[in-house]
Structures are given as structure tokens and as C-alpha cells.
Amino acid sequence: MPWSGKVGTFVDVEAAVPLFQGSSFYWSNRSKQSTPGELPLCFLKEKKMKISEKELQDRVAKAVENFMAGYGCCQSVVVAFADLYGMEREMALKVAAGFGGGVGRLRMMCGAVSGIVMLVGMDCGQIEGSDNAGKSACYKVVQELLERSKQDNGSLICAEILGLKGYEKAENNYVASPRTAEYYKTRPCAAKVESAARIFAEYLRGKYL
């Protein structure tokens, strides 16, 4: 059964098994003599992602919709695009879950910004430890997109974006805030999720459209 996704072609999607080795996302094919970690056709650099302008806009809107449905800032951004790279929704939600609230609610780097970093890795991250050129290329994209986020939002740091000063006001504990009407009214997080999703969508537009 041919791959029906948007990135290249995979021979037998029903036999594709998601595997994780280190920080890289791989596929192996049980119907072939492939080894874990072997990169399939759908992730080769020469393959072009097939995506439309409307779909990019829909994915930005979906990221905001995710956040308004109660998902974390990082989850909301990552799950809006992860399927483009073969990652199922449930797995995307799991791997992004801990980055909310500025990484585990520590008010460090904004979770939506962390979502950009994760998506860049899916799009152009290197898969060989010795690939320094690949690492550098990925880091370059991360720095460019995060600089854009900093320019648009004033900071990459959750506490600064929220206007929190000092540990007492930041309340760096692990208890998630209830998603009430007051929460959505007073927090800028939905706008930051939209900003992060739009920045990544613009990156995809420039690369693939």
C-alpha cells in the first residue's frame, strides 16, 4: 500500500513502525530487510513536501484551536504540523507535553518557541552523529526562526513574555493552571502559539512553495 502522506513516497505504510533512537525520529519497514534507524524514501532531502498555502493557514489556525481546547503551548504548535513528518497525533502530544509553561512550568523558554525547535528538527535535523554540517544547518534554521520570534514577541522566555518578575510572582511549581475564561482573558499564550505556528508556516512556505 503506497504512502498517502505529504512527504515523498513510502512503499508500505501499514508496515511502517515508528521508532526513536536518541533524539531522532526514524521509520523501519517490517516487510523489508531494513535496519532500525534506516531513513526511508519519504525523508530524503531531495523529496519535496506537497503543501498548499491554504493548508499552511489552516494549520496555524489549528494550533490556536488546540491551545483553546486545553493543550499545552508546545503541544498545540507541534501537533499542528507533526503529521507532515509521519508522526501520529498521540505521539506528538506526548513528546511535546513536558515543554509547556516554559519547560515543565519553570517559566524558562516559551513552550510555543520550543515547538518551533522541535518542528525544525523534524524538518531538517541530522540523523548521523558525525554529521556536523547537518547539525550546523539545523542550528542555523533554529537561530533564524527564534530570532524572528524574539523580534515579534519581545522575548523567548516564558516569564518575560508573561510579565512575571522574580520567582515569587512566577510561581515555578508543577501545578497546571485551570483553563478558565479568566485564564484565556489574561494570558497572551494563545497569541504566542499563533505566532510560533505562523513563523514555522512561513518557513515551510519559503522552503517548499
Residue 84 DSSP code: G
For the full predicted model, state whether its pTM sits above 0.75: yes
- Residue (of 72, 84, 81, 87) closest to 25 by Cα position: 87
Distance CA 169, CA 156 (A): 18
Residue 197 DSSP code: H
Q: Where are the domains of the chain?
A: 1-48, 49-208
- Residue (of 172, 151, 197) closest to 56 by Cα position: 197
- Residue (of 168, 146, 161, 148) closest to 192 by Cα position: 161
- Residue (of 80, 83, 79, 76) closest to 192 by Cα position: 76
Output the CA angle 187-191-196, nearest 5 degrees: 125
Residue 128 DSSP code: S
Given 3-state DSSP classes, what are the helix, strand and coil percentages for the chain, each rounded to the nearest 5? 55, 10, 35
pLDDT computed for residue 48 by the predictor: 77
Asked if 25 contacts 124 with a C-beta cutoff of 8 angstroms, the reply is no
Output the CA angle 21-85-61, nearest 5 degrees: 130
pLDDT per position in the chain (209 positions), as tens?
A: 333 333 333 333 333 333 333 333 333 332 333 344 443 333 334 457 889 999 999 999 999 999 999 999 999 999 999 999 999 999 999 999 999 999 999 999 999 999 999 999 999 999 999 999 999 999 999 999 999 999 999 999 999 998 876 544 555 688 999 999 999 998 999 999 999 999 999 999 999 99
